[in-house]
Every structure is written in C-alpha cells, then in structure tokens.
Structure 1
Amino acid sequence: MKYLFSLCLLFVLSFAQAQNVASPSGKIALSFKLEANGQPSYAVNYKNKAVVLESALGIKLKEKPALDANFEILTSKASTFKESWKPVLGEQSSILNNYNELIISLLNKETKVKMNIIFRVFDEGVAFRYDFPKQAELNYFIISDEVTQFNLTENNKVFWIPGDFDSNEYEYNETKFSDIDNSKINMNNGIGVKSIPGKYMVQTPLMMKAPSGLYLNIFEAAVVNYPVMHLNADVTNYKLKAELVPNAIGDKAYLQTPCVSPWRTIMISDDARDIVSSKMILNLNEPSKLEDTSWIKPMKYVGIWWEMHVGKSTWDYAGSQNATNFADAPKASGKHGATTENTKRYIDFAAKNGFDGVLVEGWNVGWEDWNGNWKEEVFDFTTPYPDFDIAALSAYAKEKNVKMIMHHETSGSVSNYERHLDRAFDLMKNYEYSAVKSGYVGKIIPRGEFHDGQSMVNHFNFVVKRAADYKIMINSHESSRPTGFGRTYPNYIAAEAARGNEFNAWSVGNPPMHETILPFTRQLGGPMDYTPGIFEIKMSYYDKNKTEQVHTTLAKQLALYVTMYSPLQMAADLLENYEKYPDAFQFIKDVETDWDESKYLEAEPGDYVTVARKTKGKETWFLGAITDENARKSETKLDFLTKGKKYKAIIYEDAKNADWQNNPIAYKIKTIMVTSKSKIKLNLAPGGGTAISFEPIQ
C-alpha cells in the first residue's frame, strides 16, 4: 500500500530562508539553505543535537561554470511517502519504505542552468541526490568533481579501509577519525592490484561511533552510470569530502540530461541494531524491472574452489610446464581440479546432502596464459579443458537434480568479456547453468580504467541486466561494492566486493573482528558471498610449513551462515573435511538462505553481532552469534519465537577450551527444548560463535 502527500511552494525564496524536513518519527531533521554567495548547504540533527554541521553541496563541471554557487531557489516541494514492498529474496519478506521528501529546485543566476537537490529523511537517516532536468542550457556534460561535504561534530571512532580505486579487499582499521592514515597500514595483505590516491582517502560505507555513543554510517545508494564515491578525510577538522573515481583521462562522469547522481546517505541512531538492520539503501533503489522472477532462487552450493586455495589442486590444466598458453602445453599436469571425475564427486555430494548447486572453477582453457602481463585475450568463456566434459556433466547434474554454477574469470579484461558475453551465456543456457560467478582479478582493460570508475560501474550493471535476459543469476567477485541494485535486478543475487574468507588461506588473513564489521559496512548494499564453512582451520593441515589459518573457531564458521546474510551460501571447505565432522556439518545442511523475518538481538561494530532469522514460509528459526578476538557471554531472550509453541533447539557452540588461535576446532552440540519465554546463555570463545536451529515440535 502506498501513500503520497505533497505541498509545492511556487515562488522564489530568499537565500536566507532555511528549508527543513524531518523524519516520520521526528527524530532526524535536515535543514537546507543557500549561503550568501548562493552556495547550497545542508545540516542534520538527531534528537535536536547536531550530527552533521553545515556542509557544502554542488557539482563542478569540465569546461563549464561550476554548479556550486550563484543559485537561487525557484521552488520547494515537500511530500510524504509510505509503502511496503516484497523483495524476491531477502532478510525479511516485506520491507517498509517510509520517508519525508524535500525537493529544492535551483537556478544558477549566471548560466541559467537548473539543478534540483532531492532530500529524503527516513527514521534511519537522510539521503540526498543531484537531479539535472532536461534543459536547453545543459545537455551533454562532464563532471570533474563533486563538492559534497560531510562535516562531523566529534572525533568519532571509525571503521575504515583505504579509498582504493581498484580494490575493497582490505581488513578494517578501527581508529579515531584523527588517526585515519593510509601510510600506516600493512600493505603486505594479499591484494594484487592497489590504487590508493591519497593518504587520507577512505571508502564507503564508513561506519562510525561518536564519543557520545551515537552511531553514524556514510554510504551511497543506486550507483548507476556514475563512479563510486570515496571520501577524503580532513582529520584535523573532522570533515569528509566526496571524491569520485576518475577514468583513464581524469574525468569523473559523462552525463546527459535528464539524469541524476547516486544518493548520498547518512544513517544515524543511538542503537547499533538500527544501522545493521536498515533497509534504507534498498529503499533508495528503483523497484524490480523484471516481470518474471520465478527463476530467481536461493542456493546453497559446494564447489571446486577451496582445494585450489589450499594447494591440493590448480585452476590450470598444464601446471608446472610453464606454458605461455594452453596450445603450447596440452599435457595435463595431474593437479588440475576441474576434471570430469572430480566434478561428479561434488555433484554426488551435493545431491546426497541436499545442496542446490556445484561451482566449478578452472573448467575453461586459458589459465596457463594468465601470467599478470595485463593481456587482453586470456579466456573465451566457452572452451572447456579436455578433461572437463561439459555435456556429460550437465546431464549428470540434471539427473541428480543439482544445478551447475559457471565461473567466468575475466582477468580484468572487461573489453574481452563483453565481446564474448552473449556466447558465454548461450553456452550456459545450452547446458542449463542457472548462475555464474564472475571474477575481475587484475588491472582493468581498457587500460587506465579503475574497478570503481563510471565505465566499470556500467559494465557490472550491464552484465546483470544482460544475464536477466537469459534468466541467469550473477555473483560478482572483485567488483565495485553493491549499493542496492539487487532490488532493481533481483538476479544480482550476491557479490563479494570485500575481503572474503579466501584471504585466510594464503595471506595475513582476516582478524577476528572482521566479520563483526561487515554487516555494518559492505552488507548494507547487498548480500555478500563470503564463502564460510571452513572446518580445517589451520593451513598446516595441508602443509606443515604453512602458518596461515582462518581467524575463527569452527563454531563461528557455522554462525556466519546466519550473521552474514546471503541467499547464495557456499559450504566452502573440502568435502572430506565435512565427512570428518558430520555432526557440525548438519547445521550447514539445515540452515536456510531466504527469510520471512530477521531480528538483530545484539550488535556492536567491531565487537559482536547476534541475529535470529525465521525461514520463509516455515516456522523454523536460526540464530547466529559471533564475537571478535574477545570471549563473550550474554543471555538471549527467545521472545521472537511463536508464542504457545515448543521448539527443539540444537545448539552448536564453542567448547570451554576453544580459542581461534590455540584450539579452533573444539566445539560441542547440545539439544534443549525451549519456548518464547525461554532464555539461552551464549558463551563465545575468543574469535568464536554460536549457531542454533529452532525446530517446532508438533
């Protein structure tokens, strides 16, 4: 149901007159005004306390006068909007979209160019965007800079990663705002391509906690035909300025009216649970453009992937023969993972254990030729290696009622991928592959472009839209981070776009607090394919000389299936490792991936997250609780359960002597009977977690 109320003031307003709009509850208030020189500015209060001080707005254009001053207000239009909508897949079956809107129509007195600034104020925060109407005075134009500022009031605690134009795969730094400094971070972090333009550049979403206890998050929504926004920090004055990622010749965005910028967003609350549960980013995106979404399904999958990371097998076929391309070395090395025989083993495992799909990486020719030389044509996405019988495996998977997941590693050569895209999707449809995992490891081709630039944003969105034509779901890796585009194209089922579990296998890894921050940052824009479920924690299991390890307990790996929302969840470890721990593996088999309701019970960025989720269309619930490097105890009420029903609770928890460093695999499982009046004590080891399934008793 949708409600809309508007009021329009059709007269020129003096620059001195502030325009105000508050959230539906009245807790958050935004004021807009023009400065004496006609520069737009805004400020934000929370419960009558300043949160964002007066901050400049505006756009600078290439070879045209800037749109950052000399404005007068033509009209001011206020309205209220309220609706509920149903996502195809999600953390909850229905989402409330309720905000008050203020549209300020501006006229530049010098150039006569019109620009609107649209403000929306939700109970979770504020959003604003620039709107350029169709007009004779402005048609094609190039953005050279965005003036947008966020002037903060305090030296907040900040959870930040460097503003790298090519990678978001960093571990988070937890510092004061005044201590943001890219020159002090460890760059020996396993990231292959780095493009950090400044000492104080940070990425969004930027999660903060003020000394007063207020939580803030600065992000963006609906990034379409526009570069990603990073933030340049003035660490002395607690100010942030929008920095747009440039293209190969330094321009930021090429636009034509009518057009809009992405939404710039500020979430605000004195309760961290409001931030982590917010659907504001999704609400700022357009509704689904797909009429038929019946083919978009949640999936749990296994795959030929982790075995390459731990050194058991390889992506390439020819291996150590050091071939420059496949044709030069057609003989198999004996280490290739994506063989017909091995893939059948994964299909059998998936069928036996109730998994929906199997991912196979390294199935196609070209991996021998991927040698980091910034080469344009490495993969054709259609030619399998001789030991991978794509037709026979497709038939075998269909017989077992298992879906195959394709892998497209582009090697960063986007131009090559786009040339082959339709043929690659045709191949997928011919062999009934329902989803594709795409990868963008390496520097981008066309050369000089960045992963976060306008052309790459357009590419990522184009692939999703083109895949929808073929009824294919997309799971992108090494892409720009999602900003809610999955609402508009629900076949964008998941993405990586952050530092995933794989880094634990061969780098300094992810610190125990990492997974407690991601729900407050990366996951605000869409589901993350984090690839949890690693049971053999220490890599010395595979090679006694290795010191790397997953920085969690086994019980926390189970809890991640609940705390890290995604409708696409991988059981990432080797099949034989699950067979060694069948009682713990049972939780992965049982846990759902699509939800009617989600309740964030406890949350503190960098410290802990506890969430309970109700299975879509069923009475079963699942709970996940995780902590950072510190052990944690808490008591959780089960009042989210249906009143009057009894439930069997199976609790997967850390053993008393568990520790992510010293004893990570120590866990215990117990079963108790509970109701909505019950409480459960959670005992989390350092780097640990608890996972619980609740099954109603008939």
Structure 2
Amino acid sequence: MAPARAADAVIASPDGRTALHIADDGSSFSIVRRGETVIATSPLGLELDGAPAFGALKLETREDATVNRSIPLVATKASSARDHYRGATLAFREAGGGRRLLIDARAYDDGVAFRYRLEDAAPVKLRGERTAFVPAGDPSCLVTPTDYGAHELNFERLRISQLKTDAAYDVPVVCATPAGRTHYAITQAHLEGYTGASFRREGSALRVQLSAVPKRPGPAFVSTGGLRTAWRAVMMADRAGELIESHLVGHLNPPPQQDFSWVKPGKTSWDWWSGPLEGVKPDLAAYKRFIHFAAESGFPYHLMDAGWAFGTGPCCDALPGTDITRAADGIDMPALVRYAADKGVGLLLWVHWEHLAPRMDEVLDTYARWGIKGIKVDFMNRDDQDMVAFYQRVAEATARRRMLLDLHGAYVPAGLQRTYPNYITQEGVLGAEWNKMDKRITPQHNLMLPYTRMLVGPMDYTPGGFRNATASAFEVRAVMPQTQTTRGQALAMYVVYDSPLQMVSDDPSNYHGEPGFDFIRRVPTAWDETRFLDGEPGRDIVLARRHGQAWYVGAMTGDEARTQRVPLNFLPPGAYRATVWEDGEVARELRRSVRTVKRGDVLTLRLASAGGAAVVLEPLPRPDARSAP
C-alpha cells in the first residue's frame, strides 16, 4: 500500500476526518478516514474507443468549492437534508499541451465521490473505465452477484479475496475496515447521460465494469458529445447501520426543477401477490373489492397489476396484441376511476415497459384523461445507457403529468428520486414476491437488506404478508402465499423498509380482524427523520423514524430469538404513550400493550425467532398545559 504523496490533491471533508487523495498525474486515488486507510491506492482513468489513450497527465488547475445548505425533501426518509461538502474540479493536461481530463471530487462528512468529464463537443466512445477500488486489508464485505436483470439475488458475506474473478458483483458493495472503525458502501450515483456498472475482482481490486447495450457491437458507451460519467461514491460511517441515515447518493443528483408538493406518499392495496403467478384475470367485482378494502383502511391507492389491459396474456410477456391504452373487455376504466375516487382511492396501473416506451406520450395522456394517479413499469431488466435514458424519460414524462412512478424489474437506485420525487419507489431487490416461488426470503435475508440495498434508495420489497409461519412450517405456494417470519416482523418492515409508496400486499380477507392490522393502517410511509439505533447485518436491526411529533420504532431479528432493549434517548423531553406490538407464542400472534415512557427510559421488546416488534411513541399533553381561553 503506497503512502499518500505530498503532491497529491487532497479534498478533505468539512469535519476534517475524511480525505480523498488524487495523484497529481490523475492516475490513482485513495481514501482515508480518521487516520485509517479505507481504500488503498486505486487506479483512475478512462478506456477510450476509437481514440488514443491519454498520455502522461499533469495537474494543471484546481478549482475549489464549499457547499453548506439545507435541502427540503419530498416523500422520503427525512423532510430535509444537509448538503455539506468540500469539492474540487481537477483539470489534468496531457504532456505537450494535449487533451484535458477533468475530475470532479467531493468530500462529505459521510463519504466521498468523484467523476470524470471531457469538454470536447465531439462524441466520446468508451470501452470502459480504468476505475477500481482496492479495499484496504482484504475486508469482509456484503456482496450480491449481478444477475444482469432484475437485481434480485441474496447478499452474502465474503472477503474481497474470496470473490470470484469470473463473476460481476452489484452495487452497493458494503464492507468494514479490518479494525472495524469504518463501515462503508461502494456505489454509484447520477447515471443520467451515462450507463450503469457493476464490479469484477481483479486481484485485490474491484474493477468498474460498464454495462453495454445488448446486441450492440463496439464500445460499452457512446456519448452524443463530450462526457460526464456517473459519480463513483463511497459512503462511510462508524457503524454499518448509520449508513442508512446518509443522503449522499441523493446529494450527487441535481435537485428538482419543478414543484413536487403534489406527490402524495402512502400505502396501496395490491391484487397480484395473493393471486396466481400468471396474474389476475380482469374482474370488475374483484377490482372493486380491493378498492373498497383500500377505502375502509384509509389507504390512498389501489394498484391494478398485470391483467387489466386489453389483449393481455397469461401474465407478463409484452405480447404484440396487448393495448395498454384500452382496458380489457368488461372494464370501463374511466368509470372505475370515478368509483374509486368517490371512495378517496386513486388507481395505479401496471404496464410492461416495451408497451410503454414506443408510445409513451399517447399512453400517459390517456391515463391522465382517465384520472390514473401513477404507473408501475416492469421487466426492464437492464442498466445500459439506453435503459438509463428510458428511466430519465419516463420519470420526466410522469412528473409532467403529476403521476407517481414505480419501476420493477429495475436496477439499483442511483438517486434519480432526488430530481424526480414522483419516482416514488422501485424494485431492484429480492422481495417478498419470491415467497410465492421459493424459500430464499429468509429472516437473514430480510436483515441484510437494510444494511445493503436500502442504503442507496427506496425499495419496493412489498411487505404485509399476514399468513406468517415458522421456517419449518413454511410452504411455497403461489396463491395466498406464506412468509417465513412472524407477524411482529411483518409490522416492523413498515418502519424499517424505506418505500414512500408501500404495498399492503396480502388479500383483504387475510387482514380482517387480524392482530396488527391496526398498526399497518396508521404507520406512515414517508418520514421527517430517521435514526439507526442498533443492530448488525443479517442478525438484527432497531430503527426509529419520526413523523411529525410521533416516533415509530421497528425491530427485527433473524434466526435467533432475543429480548431487545431499546433506550429512548432519542426522544425529546416529556411523556409519551408507547403502543407496542410484539411477538406472541406463535408466528401469527401478537401481544399489544400500552404504557407511558419518557426520554431515558428503556423499552424491552420480545422478539421471537424470525420475529419483530413495532412501537408508536406519541407525546402526551404536559400536565401543566392550559387550554386556550
């Protein structure tokens, strides 16, 4: 590991604890936090296609900037975020007055990021990037292979040296330094005008591998003129769970350019999860049953999944005869929208991206006339530059029509939600739908997600399964599926899992009179503040989120039952009514209790194996409060 050189360009965080070092010839970088090397000397650079490689570079100019501002947020894990960093644009020049390569760099208190720029107006072709990350000390990391599709695989813990050299790994890669003083996640941000990427191990390095357009020969990426790459980012914190609080990925994206105060987060009923894999057949009575359930539960939305459109097949293929501007025979969509609206429920529609992309304006204008509140787009299963451009286009097009957007078959978030808050959630996660197909949605998997996939953006995991079972009793079945976790964990997911549009996935009949549904009806989906309290990846988590003056706590555990102590030091002064839902004696049973607590008290929660608990903390009136005259 080479030490930092005196001539390195150093970009230090505002608190001075973190520094990004970039060599004066632009060939390498390293990252140091609290005196500890996090990323050892690692290569920088671009692999040009159809143009000579850059020759020897020398730092020509440096332009510094400091930003410190509070950004109001819409429908996410906090109502505002502090965007505070020190940045620099480093201009490197080839020897002899040749071409220039620009590197933008930023250092935040909770991470660092950099990207490349070329100012030439001519198109730029890339075979790839030379960028790689060399984690110091062969650390233990949480990784998932890239499946070049829906990004729906389990995470596992491996050392860098244990990663396969013939496999690609998805973002984020989440590690801890050997001393355990810094936990960090390597990811990407702001893909607009670029392409997605994964990692391949080359020796001790994680090499960035750009995603190429399928069946397009030649370079992995082709610009229309000049170049601005995605940000390569490393989020950092003292504890793994503190990365959940970070807004770094969002900060690396442009702020909204229009009013998004109309975006309404909330819960939605959903007709696919409890039904057959091939999708729900068009049935007006069934749609009205789900709409009625949403209305009586106080949910603002119902999602009509695959099967509603004219000419739809068994489920999810983009059949040429399907017309997504027409409802199936027997379904009067404008009338159904009015029926739902009279009950205070907005409708969301599922569409296949291949049906949407070639006629996007026509489709969305039709939905706007009908009164549709948003769309769920599925089966993109790519992250190349053409698909990145599609994401950008559909986010802008839905925003212009004041529609919500939920992308499934999606790549992992890179912060587009910051620019378009109507892009309210996305998949790119191995979620609860897989309980219908196999046994991979284990308690350990559920406890990996908050520390990995959820770090970079909202995830449409689709919780709410109320047919809860122990692992030994769990059966894979497509209709009325079970979960491998307790009812307590089903509730806790609504606090722990970040999704401003949150599914209530089960059939309405599975909620009527069931313990814990009162919590689901009241829990928010967007928050004013998020605090990590305790936990370890794959083992357990305790997370607190504030909405207004009330705090919500979600606690989840993996295979081991535990008694979880929750210090309430995060509460402001005063008395609070604590309503607690915790595991009972069997998987579908809950114990509900109410008590009065205050700051400094400790809540003790009973968590069964594969279990959880949910708590609502509401401030009580002060004893000396006077009524207004």
TM-score with structure 2 setting the length = 0.92
Equivalence map 1:554-593=2 (5 Å): 554-581=487-514, 583-593=515-525
Contact 1:146 1:244 in 2 (8 A): yes
User: Is residue 552–residue 687 contact of structure 1 (8 Å, CA) maintained in 2?
Assistant: yes
Structure 1 partner of 2:17: 27
Aligned to 1:641: 571
CA deviation map 1:284-313 (0-9, x unaligned): 1111122x213211121102111224x6xx
Partner of 1:245: 211
Give the letter aligned to residue 100 of structure 1: R
Q: Check whether the contact 2:488–2:612 (CA below 8 A) recurs between aligned residues.
A: yes
* Partner in structure 1 of residue 324 of structure 2: 381
Alignment partners' CA distance in 1, 2:101 and 2:559: 49
| 2:304 is equivalent to residue 360 of structure 1 | yes
Number of matched residues? 611
**Conserved in 1, the CA contact under 8 Å of 2:10 and 2:21?**
yes
Q: What is the CA–CA distance in structure 1 between the aligned matches of 2:413 and 2:477, rounded to whole Å?
A: 39
C-alpha separation in 1, matches of 2:397 and 2:169:
32
For 1:4, the equivalent position in structure 2 comes to none
In the TM superposition, residue 461 of structure 1 has moved relative to its aligned partner by: 1.5
Cα RMSD over matched residues?
2.3
**Gapped regions of structure 2 (runs ≥ 5):** 622-629
> Which residue does 2:437 correspond to in 1?
506
User: Residue type of the partner of 1:117?
Assistant: I
TM superposition shift of 1:268: 2.4
- Conservation of the 8 A alpha-carbon contact between 1:457 and 1:480: no
Cα distance between partner residues in 2 of 1:562 and 1:359:
21
Residue number among 582, 585, 588 corresponding to 1:653 in the alignment = 582
Q: Where does 1:199-278 land on structure 2 (aligned, <5 Å)?
A: 199-213=166-180, 214-234=182-202, 237-247=203-213, 248=215, 249-278=217-246
Amino acid at match of 1:32: I
SS in 1 for 2:257: coil
Give the superposition deviation at 1:632: 2.8
Partner of 1:184: none
Aligned residue for 1:595, secondary structure, equals coil
| Matched residue, 1:619 | 549
Counterpart of 2:261 in structure 1 is 294
CA contact (8 A) 1:486 1:493 kept: yes
Q: Tell me which amino acid in the other structure corresponds to 1:315.
A: G
Q: Provide TM-score, normalisation by structure 1.
A: 0.83
Q: Following TM superposition, by how much is the alpha carbon of 1:605 offset from its aligned partner in structure 2, in angstroms? A: 2.0
Letter in 2 for 1:590: R
Relative to structure 1, is the Cα distance of residues 625 and 45 closer, same or farther in structure 2, using a 3 angstrom cutoff? same
1:675 aligns with 2:598: yes
Partner Cα distance (1:543, 1:258) in 2: 51
- Equivalent position of 2:373 in the other structure: 434
Query: Are residues 1:553 and 2:486 paired?
Result: yes
Task: Give secondary structure in 1 for the equivalent of 2:309.
Answer: coil
1:125 to 1:543, Cα distance in 2 relative to 1, 3 A: closer
Distance 1:238 1:681 in 2: 44
Matching of residue 472 in structure 1 with residue 403 in structure 2: yes
Match of 1:91 in 2: 77
Letter paired with 2:23: K
Letter in 1 for 2:241: R
Return the offset for 1:545. Answer: 11
Q: 2:176 and 2:485 mapped to 1: Cα distance?
A: 25
Shift of 1:551: 2.5
2-side partners of 1:630 and 1:28: how far apart? Answer: 36
CA pair 63-259 structure 1, distance change in 2 beyond 3 A: closer
1:515 alignment partner AA: N
- Counterpart of 1:117 in structure 2 is 103
Map of 2:627 onto structure 1: none
Q: Deviation at 1:521?
A: 2.4
Query: Are 1:396 and 2:396 matched, yes or no?
Result: no
> Is structure 2 residue 428 aligned with structure 1 residue 497?
yes
Amino acid at match of 2:370: Y
Deviation, structure 1 residue 397 = 0.7
Letter in 1 for 2:361: D
Aligned residue among 166, 173, 177 for 2:156: 173
Q: Please say which of residues 586-595 and 300-309 is displaced more in the overlay.
A: 300-309
2-side partners of 1:354 and 1:694: how far apart? 21
Report the more deviating stretch, 558-567 or 23-32: 23-32
Residue identity in the other structure for 1:94: S
- For 1:689, the equivalent position in structure 2 comes to 612
Residue 458 of structure 2, aligned match among 524, 527, 533: 527
Aligned to 1:348: 292
Aligned-partner Cα distance in 2 for 1:541–1:216? 35
Q: 2:142 aligns with which of 159, 164, 174?
A: 159
